[in-house]
Chain A
Amino acid sequence: MTVLPYLVAGWIFLIGVYGLVTSRDLIHAVGCLAVTQSSTYVLLLAVGYRNGGTAPVFADAPTNSRVVDPVVQALTLTDIVVGATVTALLLALVVQLRKRHGTVDPDALSELKG
């Protein structure tokens, strides 16, 4: 079935959003956001795949060999590291919330405090 990799990407996306919607814990929510984000990696890599293709690195492969699409791989690569640091920033926010409000339950964070 040739559309399976694309459908898997959509499924990972929905699972991540489901986790975000039902989350009772902000750390769990940040994790779910990371899962949602990773669905784009699967989609990008699925779009770039070529049957029988090797890695787009020509250090020891002949320059006319069949390789997978390097553009989507480059997009995925930078997003992974950037996504990791943004996740760290969100977790830092959660740490501060826990300190100032004493809870990490998003439903309990209704009142303003200032």
Chain B
Amino acid sequence: MSSRVRLWVFLVGAAGFAALFAAACFDLPAFGTVPHPYGARAMHAALSHHTANVIASVNFDLRAFDTLGEETILFSAVIGTVVLLRQARDEHRKDPEPATIHPPVRRFALLTLPLALLVGLYVIAHGQISPGGGFQGGVVTATALHLLYIAADYRALERVRPLTLYEIGEAAGEAAYVITGFAAVLAGSAFLTNVLPFGTLATLSSGGTAMVLNAAVGLEVTSGIVVLLARFLDQAVEIEEPGEDDGNPRHTGGSGGSGGSGGNGDDER
């Protein structure tokens, strides 16, 4: 199909969609005034389980089984990326050359790193009380680690990031979620039922299993994002295409760990 025909097919389809969608929109209840029966019930359920953050309660209590499915999509997507971006047989590794970093950039990154790490962990830990939770906090924590790449260099990042540990962490997050679900079965309820004591509203120990599942998701998202970014950085920084290899091939499968090879003077920078 030529691009012109394709565009015309799209335009006809888009016009049809636009007409139907607009008609549907004008039939919807007016913006901002709708009664929300599901929302009201979710709020009631969350407050009866002493979870201050209703969204966390929906995710980790009312829809805990759905969240298990979503977490599994995340888990599989990360595994798929790791498999796709592995080092092929005809590719070589090359040690990345350290680049100069402007002092203000470095100062700013070093200043922000502990702060961002702390904020990420705080957001994960307070998922059942304040806006946030495992999904958001996990992304903040994982990206905070990568400020080290901006502040120092790739080697330094590799040293604080033993990749195997994060791969295990990702699997452990997924496993912890399933185990929490089966713990409820052992306690005599259905899978993923909230069986723990609910605690006091708006304290750190409130929400029962919502708190545990939130932590499991936080662990998985943090580890998953670190592994993802590591694979993409590997491709960008280390792995050479077969054609453009200029000596110094490093045929190692795993990264990091080889601190002995860093003796070419870029450690004290």
Q: Does A4 contact B31, Cβ atoms closer than 8 Å? A: yes
Q: Does B47 contact A49, Cβ atoms closer than 8 Å? A: no
CB of B152 closer than 8 Å to a CB of A:
no
What does the 1/0 interface line of A49-88 toward B look like (CB < 8 Å)? 1110001111110010001111101100111111011101
Q: Does A22 contact B31, Cβ atoms closer than 8 Å? A: no
What does the 1/0 interface line of B22-46 toward A look like (CB < 8 Å)? 1001101011111010110011001
Q: Does B32 contact A51, Cβ atoms closer than 8 Å? A: yes
- Chain B residues contacting A47 (CB-CB under 8 Å) are 28, 34
- Chain A residues contacting B77 (CB-CB under 8 Å) are 82, 85-86, 88-89
Contact partner of B58 (CB less than 8 A), chosen from A21, A74, A81, A95, is A74
Q: Does A69 contact B235, Cβ atoms closer than 8 Å? A: no
- Chain B residues contacting A92 (CB-CB under 8 Å) are 80-81, 84-85, 231-232
What does the 1/0 interface line of A1-30 toward B look like (CB < 8 Å)? 011111100100110011001100000000
CB of B241 closer than 8 Å to a CB of A:
yes
Provided the pairs A3-B28, A69-B36, A99-B88 are in contact, do residues A63 and B47 lie with their beta carbons within 8 angstroms?
yes
CA distance A60 to B64 in the complex (A): 25
CB of A109 closer than 8 Å to a CB of B:
no
Q: Does A70 contact B42, Cβ atoms closer than 8 Å? A: yes
Q: Which B residues lie at the A interface, using CB under 8 A? A: 3, 6-7, 10, 14, 17-18, 21-22, 25-26, 28, 30-34, 36, 38-39, 42-43, 46-47, 52-55, 57-59, 63, 66-67, 70, 73-74, 77-78, 80-81, 84-85, 88, 129-131, 133, 135-136, 138-139, 201-202, 221, 224-225, 228, 231-232, 235, 241
